[in-house]
Structure 1
């Protein structure tokens, strides 16, 4: 009987000691001190923010494949107004100089167009939609906001002494290098009706270009 009493008192003392330890421990101390310190250092990435300006002006340069007249260097400019995070409207103008047709190259001195009619000018107004906003990651902890977008619209083309109504459509990829600076990669198709070579047909002219833009 005496042994049982001693065992009971011993257990009671241990229980009281544990309770006192818990009471004496500051609240949250156990939760704040992990048993195992993680050996993982988080990667610090600071992606650039998009400038609050809704206007974006872009200088563009690249190649324009003028149907029947070879590929030529092109340059131009675009001004965009961002209506929302997804939609924007864009006005653009571009310049190029048409090369020779295959017939002119084979015939020698024959010219289908005089030199002053080979200047190629187009202008348009487009609506754009951003499909896949995301981020591009580079070594050194750099991350850049990106946008994949599509555009479509209408305008006109001045070429070969004529002005033709022109439809255009295409896609682009934008990388924001800073809060007010970005680069673009574009592919666009311009379609208009022409009869330069005799019979009337639709002319498909493809632009492959890159651009640097500023927000303001």
Structure 2
């Protein structure tokens, strides 16, 4: 019996939603959700515009000191938006059984944008990697890990904050 592969639809755009966990340095880990719009330049390169939302928790100081608030509730709202360039490093196939094969991509991605947190908007760089499985010619699932880097001075001295994102999502090619 011949194996039929899922092929990327002839369209170059992809829209998707994701959910995951974001570790906001000094402010706990929290639920992350967002969306992305991707344009595939070729089989290897793609541009991605993304937006994500989370909420910062309490610092260790706030937990130990009791009734102390470093940030107000509205300042704990965390959002980011970015523009990224991605590269499919290892395109391949995943075999579920001998009759089912799915096209896959292991990709690297990096870019720049902004993060709104603690009452301020900060220039942000991000970089990461992901794995995408095309379930059909127009539907894909992916899992990814990214680091978001920006300068912050909420707890005194200015420092570079590194926030780790782990997420999974579903996208549609059109």
Give the 3-state SS of the residue equivalent to 1:103 in structure 2. Answer: helix
Match of 2:40 among 59, 82, 85: 82
Cα distance in 2 for residues equivalent to 1:92 and 1:162: 19
Higher fraction of helix: 1
* Pairwise CA distance, 1:131: 0.5
Higher RCO, Cα 8 Å, sep 6+: 2
1:103 maps onto 2:61 in alignment:
yes
Cα distance in 2 for residues equivalent to 1:167 and 1:77: 18
Give the 3-state SS of the residue equivalent to 2:61 in structure 1. Answer: helix
Stretch deviating more after TM superposition (189-198 or 102-111): 102-111
Tell me the equivalent position of 2:104.
146
- Report the structure number with the largest CA radius of gyration: 1
Give the 3-state SS of the residue equivalent to 1:133 in structure 2. Answer: strand
User: Alignment RMSD, CA only?
Assistant: 0.8
For structure 1, list consecutive stretches of 5 or more residues without a partner in the other structure: 1-42
Match of 1:176 among 96, 115, 134: 134
Cα distance in 2 for residues equivalent to 1:104 and 1:189: 25
1:194 maps onto 2:148 in alignment:
no
For structure 2, list consecutive stretches of 5 or more residues without a partner in the other structure: none
Kindly provide the CA deviation profile for residues 143-184 of structure 1, in whole angstroms up to 9, marking residues without a partner as x: 000000011100000000001000000001000000000001
Cα distance in 2 for residues equivalent to 1:139 and 1:129: 28
1:65 maps onto 2:20 in alignment:
no
Tell me the equivalent position of 2:3.
45
1:129 maps onto 2:82 in alignment:
no
Kindly provide the CA deviation profile for residues 67-99 of structure 1, in whole angstroms up to 9, marking residues without a partner as x: 000100000001000011100001000000000
* Pairwise CA distance, 1:44: 2.9
* Pairwise CA distance, 1:107: 1.1
Cα distance in 2 for residues equivalent to 1:140 and 1:103: 55
* Pairwise CA distance, 1:47: 1.1
Higher fraction of strand: 2
The TM-score normalised by the length of structure 1 is 0.79
* Stretches (4+) displaced over 6 A: none
Give the 3-state SS of the residue equivalent to 2:90 in structure 1. Answer: coil
Kindly provide the CA deviation profile for residues 99-133 of structure 1, in whole angstroms up to 9, marking residues without a partner as x: 00011111111110011110001000000000000
Give the 3-state SS of the residue equivalent to 2:135 in structure 1. Answer: strand
The TM-score normalised by the length of structure 2 is 0.98
Give the 3-state SS of the residue equivalent to 1:104 in structure 2. Answer: helix
Equivalent residue pairs, number: 174
Tell me the equivalent position of 1:34.
none
